[in-house]
Amino acid sequence: MASVPSLSATLQQRVTAALAAAVPSAADADPLLRRSDRADFQANGVLGLAKRAKANPKELAGAVLAALPADEMVARVEVSGPGFLNITVTDAAITANLAARLADDRLGVPGKERPGITVIDYAQPNVAKEMHVGHLRSSVIGDAITRILRFAGETVIPRHHIGDWGTQFGMLIQYLIEHPHTLDHSEDAPDAGEASMSRLNRVYKAARTLFDADEAFKDRARRRVVDLQAGDKETLELWQRFVDESKIYFYSVYDKLDIRIVDEDIVGESGYNDMLVETCELLEKSGVAVRSNGALCVFFDDVKGKDGEPVPLIVQKADGGFGYPATDLSAVRDRTANLHADTLLYVVDARQALHFRMVFETARRAGWLTDEVTVRHLPFGTVLGKDGKPFKTREGESVRLEDLLDEAVARATAVVREKGEKIGLSEEEITGNGVQVGIGAVKYADLSTSLGRDYVFDLDRMVSLNGDTSVYIQYAYARTRSIFRKAAADQTAAAHPELPLAPAERALALHLDAFGDTLAEIAAVYEPHRLASYLFQLASLFTTFYEQCPVLTAEGGPAEVENRLFLCELTARTLHRGLDLLGIRTPERL
Ligand code: ARG
């Protein structure tokens, strides 16, 4: 494992040093180095520095230029405009640096300098309820961020804060006591997850109907909640059956989604039951929370309702019950004190933003969150239908996640089949690829828009071969593999820094150079959509390269063939690694 600094990072250092040489008092000046179309890079930092040093920008640029001599890395530096520096690097330096990347398992990508412990709260469906598109977003985004952070060397502890507690369990458990066989498994259905969900649905609907119609049942259900909260053994056992049954369903959906969730990371709302009383006591004793009309409340100057009245965070209700805030506050305590997290992330719907703002502020006042801990709600937007309204079925019901995934796979399979039959893929390969392309399409559509924005769920667009889609990127990957399958035995990938690069090669190569820096930025700001756009650009640049630069029939002879194969190989490895960090697979043949 050897990390390889990018050419642009090395150049950044060189230009920084040149700036300092020109203006000794400006050792810390940022050269503001950017990729540019005019040359390879442009440094815009001279202008600001000239202002600070009260110097003529053009003259200063000349002095920096003099301190930045051409050598094996810098081919050419020119002053342009009022004092920009256009910098061209040498082909040899580009190729040699990429060769060092290819030689490394991690493609030369360095890990975080000071990795820490991140607890990330994502993939949090609710027990005895169907999963919907909102749960899709949290799971897909959370999984990608987990992968990206782990690759950066961070210790990541997932917490799946499932909704497994609350008054509705009184109703469910009471119903099960009175109709003991409703959750029994009949002959095992082919899809165990779906069967579980339909059993749970049956109980849920029947219990609800009874609850709404029958006052006596309602009373019994309410008493059952008390038993549940008191930890009555029989009641808890029945509650556990609902949880277990739901997990069968959750796991089947996550399996379809190709997202790995493990039991030990599922710590639902119930997991904090033992802490709730203490959490409230601590808040009340410290004065962070006060009693108001019997309820234990935390007030905020800047949180008011429409009527101008303050809206408190209710930590304990007047009847003694605890809700969502008490659980989340206890979770903060657990994650900081017991799991030693220095970063807390919450991948949760934007509509819960106020809740988290109040929870974090409360935890700060109570001293559970200190300045040493970074806490971030990563809010995501709503999935919309083609009509621009929240995604619903024609009947106005929320769309079942599984139906949606099944449809995506069916559409993708049709797309894959058309090309696959031409290149002689077996039926098995076609269905296998259909799954990887369909699930990839759903994830990519979700990950390629910035988190906070809503997006339209449009399967036609998502599985399109042209456009900003995962299929497009997967095709680019498969194309690299096909080139290698067609190569003759003596045609192998090898870097030749002595060869000049064609424009399409340079563009591809300089983008490959940016992989590590891009990942480091993304890991610092939790924005997977930037990785998606990096990969889409990489696939586009590769496509242009492929059109303009014949690989196996390169005119420059065997060395050029090797060098182009080398670029193909590094592109393939980068696409594969990048898509993997988004949780998306790369079929070998498409
Ligand atoms: N179960 C909740 C839902 O379905 C999301 C939980 C979010 N996490 C949390 N710590 N509150 O909306």
Compute, in angstroms, the gap from residue 268 CA to the centroid of ligand 1: 9
Last residue of a domain, one of 261, 287, 318: 261
**Residue where a domain terminates, one of 238, 261, 284:** 261
Report the alpha-carbon distance of residue 211 to residue 523 in Å, rounded: 48
- Tell me what the mean pLDDT of segment 13-37 comes to: 87
CB of 246 closer than 8 Å to CB of 200: yes
How far is 242 from 250, CA to CA, in rounded Å? 12
Q: How far is the CA of 126 from the centre of ligand 1 (A)?
A: 8
Mean pLDDT of 351-376: 97
Q: Are 53 and 126 members of one domain? A: no
Would residue 347 count as lying in a domain? yes
Q: Is 369 found in the same domain as 236? A: no
Written as six digits, the tokens of 221 are 């259900």
Cross-strand partners of 306:
none
pLDDT at 187: 63
Domain boundary among 89, 105, 125: 89
Q: Is residue 589 situated within a structural domain?
A: no
**pLDDT, tens digit, 9 for 90 and up, residues 62-84:** 988 999 988 999 999 999 988 89
Q: What is the pLDDT of residues 247-261, one digit of tens each?
A: 999 999 999 999 999
Rounded Cα–Cα distance for residues 228 and 241 (Å): 13
What atom in ligand 1 is closest to the CA of residue 162? 1
**Count of domains for the chain:** 4
Co-location of 437 and 562 in the same domain: yes
CA distance linking residue 451 with residue 345, whole number of Å: 14
Residues with CB under 6 A from ligand 1: 121, 124, 126, 161, 163, 328, 331, 346, 348
Question: Does the pLDDT value for residue 333 go beyond 70?
Answer: yes
180 plus 135 within the same structural domain: no
The reply to whether 441 falls in a domain is yes
Environment class of 206 (CB within 10 Å of its CB; exposed 0-12, middle 13-18, buried 19+):
middle
pLDDT digits (tens, 9 = 90+) for 124-173: 999 999 998 889 999 999 999 999 999 999 999 999 999 999 989 999 99
Please tell me the residue having the least CA distance from ligand 1 atom 5: 124
Q: Are residues 431 and 552 in the same domain?
A: yes
Share the mean pLDDT of the chain.
94
Instruction: Kindly report the CATH number assigned to the domain that includes residue 551.
Output: 1.10.730.10
- The boundaries of the domain holding residue 228 are 168-261
Around Cβ 528, how many Cβ atoms within 10 Å?
28
The answer to whether position 73 is within a domain reads yes
Asked whether residue 188 carries a pLDDT value surpassing 70, the answer given is no
CATH at 29: 3.30.1360.70
Beta-carbon-side half-sphere exposure of residue 485 (alpha carbons within 13 Å): 9
**Residue 109 resides in a domain:** no
- The reply to whether 458 and 542 lie within a common domain is yes
**Angle value at C-alpha 158, between 155 and 162, nearest 5 degrees:** 170
| 421 and 534 both lie in a single domain | yes
Span 239-243, mean pLDDT? 96
Terminal Cα distance for the chain, rounded: 32
Q: Does 299 lie in the same domain as 196?
A: no
256 CA distance to ligand 1 middle (Å)? 21
Residues 427 and 501 both lie in one domain: yes
Candidates 119, 132, 348: which one to mutate for ligand 1, based on the most atoms within 8 Å of Cβ? 348
Residues 314, 297: one domain?
yes
Could you tell me if residue 103 is inside a domain? no
CATH at residue 152: 3.40.50.620
Helix (H) or strand (E) holding 517: helix 515-525
Do residues 317 and 371 share a domain?
yes
Shared-domain flag, residues 420 and 512: yes
Residue 101 lies in a domain: no
Cα 132 to ligand 1 centre (Å): 13
- Is residue 67, in this structure, part of any structural domain at all? yes
